[in-house]
Amino acid sequence: MEKFEKFTGIAAPMPLVNIDTDMIIPKMFLKSIARTGFGKNLFDEMRFNRDGTEIADFVLNKPQYRKSEILIAGDNFGCGSSREHAPWALEDFGIKVIVSTSFADIFFNNCFKNGMLPVVLPQEQVDLLMKDAEKGENARMSVDLEAQEITTSDGDVIKFEVDAFKKHCLLEGLDDIGLTMEKEASITSFEKAAEQARPWV
């Protein structure tokens, strides 16, 4: 997993509430356990007509938002089933940060495990970011995880809270496997001692 670094990017406004995981990545695309390749099907039923043509007024199909890295969303983002493909699809599309007033718990935790930062803010601050995002690609926001700050295109700074352990994992690029491998020396030492103590195992 890549380390999460401070960056400046385009924010897309998506004020819909209760965006569930089936809207994020419809069930017919859950045919692989690889983490890549799902970005093209992100929000498929909202992005594309049944003949495969784009729905022009969907936010991520608009020219100014095609390269969005930040999503400003409505309440209860990521609700529904617990499919891990949902954060995979968002990350594969290029989304690094999602801001909302609330997230479904499983989706929220899956974001961190896949290198994305979900940020919970009060409604008035989400509204401010939503309004800024509506300015288009010239209104770029900066996200600084170390300082726990989002800076709007106008220079307004919004502080956010994040769990210290989850923050550490993002900054160091550690998923569950990476966390385990940090203990590789201890694991190897234990296995050697166990092998000597129980050679018949």
C-alpha to C-alpha distance for 155 and 118, rounded to whole angstroms = 21
**Residue 33's pLDDT is what?**
75
Q: Which ranges of the chain would DSSP assign to H, the alpha helix?
A: 21-24, 44-47, 85-93, 105-113, 123-133, 164-172, 176-181, 184-197
**Residue 142's pLDDT is what?**
98
C-alpha to C-alpha distance for 143 and 131, rounded to whole angstroms = 17
Give yes or no for a contact between 150 and 157, defined as CB atoms under 8 angstroms apart. Answer: yes
Mean per-residue pLDDT of the chain = 91
Q: Which tens digits make up the pLDDT trace of 13-27? A: 999 999 999 999 999
In the chain, what are the domains? 7-197 (3.20.19.10)
**Tokens matching residue 131:** 């309004």
**Tokens matching residue 81:** 């089933």
Give yes or no for a contact between 41 and 26, defined as CB atoms under 8 angstroms apart. Answer: yes
Its pTM stands at 0.87
Cβ neighbour number for residue 81 with a 10 Å cutoff = 14
**Residue 98's pLDDT is what?**
98
pLDDT of 87 higher than 80: yes
Give yes or no for a contact between 118 and 111, defined as CB atoms under 8 angstroms apart. Answer: yes
CA distances from 126 to 43, 73, 77, 129, 150 (A): 21, 8, 13, 5, 11
Q: What is the mean pLDDT of residues 155-174?
A: 96
